[in-house]
């Protein structure tokens, strides 16, 4: 593996991950502001609406990030034609989904204001339809995607801070997000089609969409694992409980977005690899990066969960701490699952993943129905964690025989580093136990441990050496 190739992969991963990181921070600041201004009850109404929208969004975005990006990576010369055809198809699908969603909101929601919140949130479907970031990801052009993400989140945050000042402005929140998202995706789409639209190929668009069918079905099931708990909490408990659950959950979404950015950044590398040693090496590189970030983030997040909630959302949300800790553990599992997904995608074995999602979704549904009435948000968080572990084990079994060392060895250094990190933090004097101290101290201990073990991820080390060489040459 050349240093240049490692640097390119890491550069793309950093561009995508940096954009996700920056945009999610901005969005999270806006979300924390909303949670504080609206309070748990009315924030819970928003959380319920976004959980419903997440199901319809699957039909517009599921598969295109993976299958679409893969097809663009294989045939970059056909990118504009594919983007034109797929975007028009997605606009039509968005219109159908929005109409169905609006009718369902009026029929099922007795509270008019709550129904309007769901309908306003549904406008995001059109922004999703116009989003062409999947094309850029297939071309390994992460920078424009990152710029678009940061722009749309920044616009959303500014609109929220300016127009939402109290609980009575709850309906404005989804409208502000729609405007921000639309501005960002229009800039990205305009840039892609700056030299003109491609040829409209209905057959190509439909073939791509049909190729996404297993992913759409699988991601519907995965969405059930991630958001069914929110919907059931809204139906079986109170808006207050939903707010206590969804506010810290937004922080987990922020971490999951980083895992997704890394997964997409490594998809071309894994997808182009030939079966055998080359694919195992590509999978190992991805897992090294994903595990090195995901395991300490989950472990450290669990340790600082209580002060983190208090800092971000205020004392009103501290009752959600235990559920937050369990959701952070689920997030760590997602980081480990992402490399396995890329392997199955490269080998066209997504059907196995689909059945894993199906079994996990069924388990999740049953556990939620049993535990939510008894344990509330903690029961919902436990159901989510067990479902995520079930998916990881199911998918891991399918590739374990041929990639045993590839899957296990990269996990050892992050586990050792995270253990040392938590042990050091627990040994700190009580007067030093503060979020602003524990977070940077824990990160420093973790990094030093990896350096001492000489287990810094190969791609990260290669990219760092290239940066040092450039600095020295300059």
Per-residue model confidence as pLDDT tens digits over 459-474: 676 656 665 566 555 5
Asked if pLDDT for residue 17 goes beyond 70, the answer is: no
Percent of the chain exceeding pLDDT 70 equals: 89
Mean pLDDT for the chain overall: 84
In a domain, 359, yes or no: yes
The pLDDT assigned to 425 comes to 87
Assigned domain for 4 exists:
yes
Residue 10 pLDDT > 60, yes or no? no
Q: Is 373 within a domain?
A: yes
Residue-wise pLDDT for 135-160, tens only, equals 887 777 778 888 888 899 999 999 99
How many CB atoms lie under 10 A from the CB of residue 81? 17
| Cβ-based neighbour number of residue 66 at 10 Å | 24
* Residue entry with tokens 């491609």: 198
When pLDDT is cut at 50, 70 and 90, the band that residue 445 belongs to is: very high
Q: Residue 21: pLDDT above 90?
A: no
**pLDDT at position 1:** 46
281 with 199, same domain? no
Q: What is d(CA 440, CA 248) in angstroms, rounded to the nearest whole number?
A: 21
Question: Counting Cβ atoms within 10 Å, is residue 108 exposed (0-12), middle (13-18) or buried (19+)?
Answer: exposed
Q: Same structural domain for residues 305 and 179?
A: no
Name every residue whose Cβ is closer than 8 Å to that of residue 96 and which is 6 or more positions away in sequence: none
- Higher-confidence position of 339 and 210: 339
On whether both 91 and 231 belong to a single domain, the answer is no
383 pLDDT band, cuts 50/70/90, is very high
Cβ partners under 8 Å of residue 75, min gap 6 = 82
Same domain for 250 and 143: no
Q: What is the domain count for the chain?
A: 2
- Domain endpoint, select from 400, 416, 432: 416
Q: Which of the two residues, 474 and 297, has the higher pLDDT score?
A: 297
Mean pLDDT, residues 244-273: 82
Q: What pLDDT, on the 0 to 100 scale, is given for residue 345?
A: 79
pLDDT at 433: 63
Residue, of 267 and 389, whose pLDDT is higher: 389
The pLDDT of residue 346 is above 50 = yes
Q: Give the closest residue to 64 by CA, choosing from 258, 268, 283, 213.
A: 213
Asked if residue 341 has pLDDT above 80, the reply is yes
Per DSSP, 67 falls in state I
248 and 182 in a single domain? The answer is no
> Is residue 96 situated within a structural domain?
yes
Is 308 a member of any domain?
Answer: yes
Residue 464: predicted pLDDT? 63
For residue 42, the model assigns a pLDDT of 92
- What residue spans of 75-212 are helical by DSSP H? 79-108, 112-122, 124-130, 133-138, 142-163, 172-192, 202-211
Q: Tell me what the mean pLDDT of segment 57-70 comes to.
A: 74
Q: Computed from CA positions of residues 134, 138, 141, 142, in that sequence, does the dihedral angle turn out positive or negative?
A: positive
Is residue 37 domain-shared with residue 172, that is, in the same domain? yes
**Range of 102-106, 109-113, 116-120 with top mean pLDDT:** 116-120
Query: Taking 80 as the threshold, does the pLDDT of residue 386 lie above it?
Result: yes
Q: Write down the pLDDT at residue 374.
A: 93
Residue-number span of the structural domain to which 145 is assigned: 1-211
The pTM assigned to this predicted structure is: 0.78
Worst-scoring range by mean pLDDT, 78-82, 248-252, 313-317? 78-82
Three-class SS state of 454: coil
**451 occurs within a structural domain:** no
- What pLDDT is stored for residue 11 in this prediction? 57
Average pLDDT on 98-109 reads 88
Has residue 106 got a pLDDT over 80?
A: yes
pLDDT surpasses 90 at 347: no
* 463 within a domain of the structure (yes/no): no
* From 13-27, 42-56, 75-89, 193-207, the region with the lowest mean pLDDT: 13-27
Domain boundary among 383, 416, 449: 416
The predicted pLDDT at position 288 comes to 87
Q: Is residue 252 located within the same domain as residue 372?
A: yes
Calculate mean pLDDT across residues 37-64.
Answer: 85
Taking the CA of residue 266 as centre, how many other CA atoms within 13 Å lie in the half-sphere pointing to its CB?
Answer: 29
| Cα-based torsion angle of the residue sequence 461, 463, 465, 466 in order, rounded to the nearest 10 degrees | 170
> Are residues 180 and 40 part of one domain?
yes
Q: Are the C-beta atoms of residues 358 and 373 closer than 8 Å to each other?
A: no
Distance CA 340, CA 336 (A): 8
Neighbours of 203 (CB within 10 A): 8
Q: Is residue 56 part of a domain?
A: yes
Same domain, 43 and 176: yes
The structure tokens 């990066």 sit at: 289
Which residues are CB-neighbours of 299 under 8 A, at least 6 positions away? 332, 418, 421, 422
Tens of pLDDT, residues 218-257: 778 878 888 889 999 988 988 899 999 998 888 888 888 8
From residue 181, alpha-carbon distances to 29, 85, 126, 153, 174 in Å are 16, 21, 10, 7, 10
Enter the tokens of residue 440: 């940077």
Which of 189, 211, 233 delimits the end of a domain?
211
Same domain, 147 and 289: no
Identify the pLDDT of residue 286. Answer: 84
Identify which of 100, 99, 104 has the alpha carbon closest to the alpha carbon of residue 115.
Answer: 104
Residues 28 and 101 both lie in one domain? yes
pLDDT band at 6 (very low <50, low <70, confident <90, very high): low
SS3 195: coil
**How many CA atoms lie less than 13 Å away from 183 in the CB half-sphere?**
14
Band (pLDDT 50/70/90 cuts) for residue 172 is very high
Q: Are residues 239 and 338 in the same domain?
A: yes
Distance CA 455, CA 453 (A): 5
Question: Read out DSSP for 257-309?
Answer: HHHHHHHHHHHHHHHHSPTTHHHHHHHHHHHHHHHHHHHHHHHHHHHTHHHHH
């Amino acid at each position: 593996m050349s240093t240049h190739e490692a640097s390119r992969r890491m550069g793309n991963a950093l561009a995508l991950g940096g954009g996700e990181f920056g945009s999610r921070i901005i969005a999270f600041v806006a979300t924390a502001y909303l949670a504080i201004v609206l309070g748990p009850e009315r924030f819970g109404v928003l959380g319920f609406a976004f959980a419903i929208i997440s199901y319809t969004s699957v039909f517009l975005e599921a598969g295109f990030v993976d299958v679409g990006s893969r097809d663009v990576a294989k045939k970059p010369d056909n990118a504009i034609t594919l983007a034109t055809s797929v975007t028009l198809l997605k606009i039509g699908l968005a219109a159908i989904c929005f109409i169905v969603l609006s009718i369902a909101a009026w029929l099922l929601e007795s509270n008019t204001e709550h129904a309007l919140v769901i309908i306003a949130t549904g406008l995001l479907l059109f922004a999703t339809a116009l989003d062409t970031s999947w094309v850029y990801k297939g071309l390994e052009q992460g920078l424009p995607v990152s710029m678009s993400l940061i722009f749309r989140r920044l616009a959303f945050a500014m609109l929220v801070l300016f127009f939402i000042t109290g609980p009575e402005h709850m309906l404005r929140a989804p409208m502000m997000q729609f405007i921000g998202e639309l501005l960002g995706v229009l800039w990205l789409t305009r840039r892609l089609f700056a030299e003109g639209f491609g040829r409209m190929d209905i057959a190509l668009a439909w073939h791509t969409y049909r190729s996404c069918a297993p992913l759409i079905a699988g991601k519907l099931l995965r969405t059930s694992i991630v958001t069914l708990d929110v919907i059931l909490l809204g139906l079986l408990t109170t808006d207050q409980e939903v707010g206590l659950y969804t506010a810290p959950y937004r922080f987990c979404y922020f971490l999951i977005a980083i895992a997704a950015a890394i997964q997409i950044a490594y998809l071309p590398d894994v997808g182009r690899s030939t079966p055998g040693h080359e694919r195992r090496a590509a999978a190992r590189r991805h897992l090294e990066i994903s595990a090195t970030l995901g395991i300490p983030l989950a472990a450290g997040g669990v340790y600082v969960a209580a002060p983190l909630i208090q800092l971000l959302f205020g004392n009103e949300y501290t009752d959600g701490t235990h559920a937050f800790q369990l959701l952070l553990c689920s997030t760590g599992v997602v980081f480990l699952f992402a490399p396995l997904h890329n392997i199955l995608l490269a080998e066209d074995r997504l059907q196995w993943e689909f059945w894993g999602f199906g079994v996990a979704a069924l388990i999740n549904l049953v556990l939620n129905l049993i535990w939510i009435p008894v344990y509330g948000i903690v029961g919902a968080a436990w159901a989510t964690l067990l479902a995520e572990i079930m998916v990881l084990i199911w998918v891991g079994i399918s590739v374990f025989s041929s990639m045993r060392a590839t899957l296990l060895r990269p996990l050892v250094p992050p586990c050792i580093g995270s253990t040392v990190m938590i042990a050091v933090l627990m040994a700190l004097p009580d007067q030093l136990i503060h979020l602003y101290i524990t977070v940077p101290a824990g990160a420093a201990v973790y990094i030093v441990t990896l350096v001492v073990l000489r287990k810094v991820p190969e791609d990260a080390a290669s990219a760092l050496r290239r940066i040092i060489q450039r600095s020295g040459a300059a």
